[in-house]
Structure 1
Amino acid sequence: MSIITLTSDIGLQDYLVGAIKGQLWQYCPECTVMDISHHISPFNLPQATYICKSAFTYYPPGTFHCVLINLFDRKSDFVLLAHHNGQYIACADNGLLTMIAGGMPTAVVKLYLDKAAPKNTFTILKRFADAAKALASGKSLTDLGALTQDFHVKNNLQPLTGQDYIEGQIIHIDSFENVVVNITRQQFEAQRKHRKFRIFFRRDEVIHQISETYADVAEGQKLALFNAAGYLEIAINKGNAAGLFGLRSFHRDQLLQHTGFQQLSYYQTVRIIFE
């Protein structure tokens, strides 16, 4: 049976991830269950997109990806299953599907939920497991439902560009507190046009070159590089870039309105000036 991956914003503090795996093995005893991440920040779809896209590309065709993120963003009687780039992506109808696919997926069907069952993580997972089992038995996507384009669409967070600059948002901070920005190498080179550049991530912090590895600078020194997923990363060799420089990615506190003259004590954008 094909691989089933799990990505969620559940965390590992309680029983849920273990129970989810147990449920999957009950319904699909021959499946191989792989964790991608359970530490997606709540409501952080740009981070979820970055993690999913960067991981999914390494899995073989036919892999079934269960994306258990922001499952109850909208009240719905169905979830989505897409076939895209040879793999299956199952998620809620919350806009994340088109963000992961970078546009409209190749094919999408609606998986309707049992009206008599409570709407919770386990009933949704059972629906995903039933679909994965059906596909593994030889059924096609259209055997599970009619193709549709009637679902919630959201676009990826894109960097701002001008004639002499590109400005990106911080979308992820890893366990070493390296900072990932939504500027890809391709976007950088297209905007750069062989010009010199300066990378600003605070008013008084500037980087003038792109490194290949962390070891290109002395221990404790800042650097910028393009990581294995192809995204710009701000780091400190054997240090803590996010904490030291006050850098922060999207957080649900941003959903609150800041009024008056309150100043935020962290930075969330990185600007590259071309000269």
Structure 2
Amino acid sequence: MTGKLEGRKAVVTGAGSGMGRAIAVRFAAEGAAVAALDLDHAAAEATARTIVEAGGTAHGVQVDVSDSGSVTAAIDSSVRALGGIDVLANIAGILDGYAPVLDTSEELWDRIIGVDLKGVFLVTKATLPTMLEGGGGTIVNMASIAGFVARGGGAAYTSAKHGVVGLTKQTAADYGAQGIRVNAICPGAVETAMTKKILEDGEAAVIESINAVPAGRHAQPEEIANLALFLANDESDFIHGAAYVIDGGWTIV
């Protein structure tokens, strides 16, 4: 590790598992003090414990990113624990089982939009004042190839991820001159416990399209963490409002 985030204070949502956990661990390994946020408090604390046992600094914090009160409390707790926030990674997200419109209930729609889009908005809004007071910061949002194309998710998930790409660009435009950089990551299929269940339960055509990517495999969470690290540190200083596709070639075929 090269200390690319040495001295930085980072908040990572969805840090209890999958890509969020990999990103939190990688940020800490690169020198950041990390607030690991997750709906599952025990999972958040487990990630923090892993970081501390490796010699890093971390705190586990419970949050429901779809609830403004919970978000405010979690960010306030993170600021107290870390002494500020320089980096925010909005990674928390859920899938919709590739449900098309007619199979998407209003409850499912609200739940997906609430976590995957509203959650990014709420956490960003709660974090920006601290970043601005500190002179700037970097925000990395988890979008998806479903933010660009169909078949990356169902009606709700695809709509939410298109929204995340738009929110990323607008936030970058609004706050870039004040030292805030905002970019998005758009993965294809990533090998996590959550996506494994979708693949097991999903329709054959969807599974076939995922398995046929030119790379011939799914991404590992650590590969997504590599991109998150790049977008969070000063090497990407001239990158504002970008949405990086990392999909093994899924969207080119």
TM bucket normalised to smaller: 0.3 to 0.5
* Structure number with higher helix proportion: 2
* Structure number with higher strand proportion: 1
Q: With CA pairs under 8 Å and 6+ residues apart, which has the higher RCO, 1 or 2?
A: 2
After TM superposition, the score normalised by the length of structure 2 is 0.34
